[in-house]
Amino acid sequence: MKKKAFVYNLINVLVLLAAGCILVRNYSLQKLFADTCAAYIGIMLLTVLLVHFLKAIRLYFALYGANISFSQYLKIYCKVTPVSILLPFKFGELFRMYCYGNQTGNMLKGVITVVLDRFMDTIALLTMIIAVWTIYGGVITPLVYILLLFVLAVIIVFVVFPGVYRYWNKYLLRADATVRKMRAIKLLNKFNLVYQEIANVTKGRGIILYILSLLAWIIEIGSVSLLYRLYGARTNVNAKISEYLSSALSSSQAIELKQFIFISVILMICIYVIVKLIDVATVERN
C-alpha cells in the first residue's frame, strides 16, 4: 500500500514538474498580455471561471456515484486540468485517467470517465465549428471531417454492440469447448465490461454532459467574439472565431487560446492551494 502511494506521488511530482517547465517555456506573461488592459483581463478571467465551472460540473456528473468527496474532486480537477492542457499529444489525458482511476479505486472507470469527457467535449466543439462555419462561411478543414467520421463510427459501434455481443456470446457458448473459444469468450466479456461501464456513466447523463460541454464552448467563443469586437478589428471577428476554433484542434494556438490556457493554469493552482489550506485548517480544528 505504501509502495503504491509512493509511486502515485512520484508520478504526480514528475508530471507536474514537466507541465511547469512547459508553462514557463511556452507561456510568457509579458508577451501574452503586453497589449491588453485590465478590462480585457477581467473578461478573460470571468470566461475562464465560467468555462471551468461548467467543465468541472460535467466531469462531476460523469463521476457521480464514485464515492469521491467534493473536496477531493476539486483538488484532483485543479491538479489534472493544467497538465491536460499543457502536455502535448494528449499525454495529459493519460495522467487524468491515472489520477481518477487511482482515486476511485477502479482504473477502468477512470479511463472511461476521461474518454467520455473528451468525447462529449469533442462533439460540442464540432457542433460549434459547424454552426460557425455554416452561419459565417469558411472552409471546413479535413481534420473536422475525420473527427465527424470518428464520432459517427463510435456512436454506431455503441448502438449495435449489445446485439452483436448477444449473438456471438450465444454462438460461442453453444460451440464445442476449445482453448480458442474460451479466449474469444473472455475477450468478448471484457468488451462487454467496457460497454457496461460506459452505459452506466452515460445513462441519464449523456445529454447533460453534452449540453454542459456546448455551453462551455458557447461562453468561450462568445468571449473571444466580445473581446475582439471591443479591442480588435471589427471586420475580422468571424475570421478570428474560425481561427480560434481551428487552433483548438491543432498544435498551433491562437493568442487568445494561449491567454485562456495561462489564466486557467494559474486559476487552478490558486484554487488547489485554497482548498488544501481549508482541508488542513479543518483537520486541525477537529
pLDDT digits (tens, 9 = 90+) for 175-204: 777 788 888 888 999 899 889 888 887 777
Instruction: State the burial class of residue 182 (Cβ atoms within 10 Å of its Cβ: 0-12, 13-18, 19+).
Output: exposed
- How does pLDDT run across 43-98, given as a tens digit for each residue? 999 999 999 999 999 988 888 767 788 888 899 999 999 998 888 767 888 999 99
**Alpha-carbon 205 to chain mean position:** 16
All three cell numbers of 51: 468555462
Q: Report the distance separating Cα 144 and Cα 92, nearest Å.
A: 22
Q: How many residues does the chain have?
A: 286
Contact 105, 92 (CB under 8 A): no
Q: What pLDDT sits at residue 276? A: 87
Residue 252 pLDDT > 80: no
Using CA atoms, how far apart are residues 139 and 57, in angstroms rounded to an integer?
Answer: 33
Q: Long-range contacts made by residues 243-251, C-beta under 8 angstroms, separation at least 24?
A: 245/125, 245/128, 245/129, 245/132, 245/221, 246/129, 246/141, 248/125, 249/125, 249/141, 249/143, 249/144, 249/147, 250/143, 251/88
DSSP code for 28: -
Q: Is the pLDDT of residue 237 over 60?
A: yes
Q: In the chain, where are the structural domains located? A: 2-285
